[in-house]
Amino acid sequence: MTADRASARRDVTVGRFALRTLGWLPVAFVVWYVAAPVLLYPAVLVVRGAVHATLRTLVGSVEQSRAIVTFVTTLKPVSLASGAVL
């Protein structure tokens, strides 16, 4: 049994580990890309509820487009005096 363990340990090298890791990387990115909107949706619901309860006059709405959350505010830009830097 000790000889089997020793041969199994010899087969696992840093190079093989790196190749296996790089092989799984595209799969992980695809899963992340597909799952991100689904995983973000509960957080958006919580944020919408919190914004509706506390910041209703400041935030007009909270929108989700795929994995991006956007806060639409009711803030208006202030006109700058001549020579002012924004």
Question: What's residue 37's pLDDT?
Answer: 94
pTM over 0.85: no
Question: Distances in Å between the alpha carbon of 53 and those of 57, 60, 64, 67, 71?
Answer: 10, 12, 19, 24, 15
Average pLDDT, the chain: 87
Q: Are 52 and 41 in contact (CB under 8 A)?
A: no
Alpha-carbon span 69 to 51, nearest angstrom: 13
Alpha-carbon span 57 to 55, nearest angstrom: 6
